[in-house]
Amino acid sequence: MFLMKKIIKHYLFFIIAAIASIIIFILNAELGRRAFETTVYSLQEMLIVIPPIFVLLGLLDVWVPKETMVKFMGENSGIKGIILAIIAGSVAAGPLYGAFPVSAVFLKKGASLRNVFIFIGAWSTTKIPMFLFEYPGLGPRFAVTRLLVDIPGIIIIGFVLAACMKERDRKLINEKIMESTEK
């Protein structure tokens, strides 16, 4: 019974979303079918793209010592940390939600919050795979301009976001990170 409750609590968001899509299907079969198709498509995408990301983060977790992470991406890593964060975020393939578990390992190992926010920014927007679709699709002027605006943009957002995080917020993030990696 306790286990059942725990599972339901764990999967509550999924259960609600699934019930909602069933209701949509009952009300409008065409809309429901489209929702189902997209869901299947995204599920395939997740199953294909996500596994190597998690393998890499698992290996990162066991092999990279804390001191190394602190040195390269910690509070006092300076420009080096920023550049590394941008490169790490830009080369990976995968949807935005894949960036968060990786961020958790970075933070746990001692990367600064600022660099992790920059990493998320890079993952979301300066990704090289994306650029390769954007360049032919929307033209060089569009793609290059966006990249040139985005790089300073994600750095500034990283700095401002980190500055907004009070001691209490940082503590909360730490707790959440530990929960997600240790449990």
Q: Which of 67/96 has CB closer to another protein? A: 96
Q: Which of 78/136 has CB closer to another protein? A: 136
Residue 71 · residue 77 · CB < 8 Å: yes
End-to-end CA distance of the chain: 21
> In whole angstroms, how close is the CB of 180 to another protein at the nearest point?
5
Burial class of residue 92, CB neighbours in 10 A (0-12, 13-18, 19+): buried
Q: Which residue has the tokens 């550049």?
A: 83
> In whole angstroms, how close is the CB of 179 to another protein at the nearest point?
8
Q: Which of 68/96 has CB closer to another protein? A: 96
Please give the backbone phi and psi of residue 154, each rounded to the nearest 5 degrees, phi first.
-70, -30
> In whole angstroms, how close is the CB of 150 to another protein at the nearest point?
7
> In whole angstroms, how close is the CB of 2 to another protein at the nearest point?
17
Q: Which of 83/159 has CB closer to another protein? A: 159
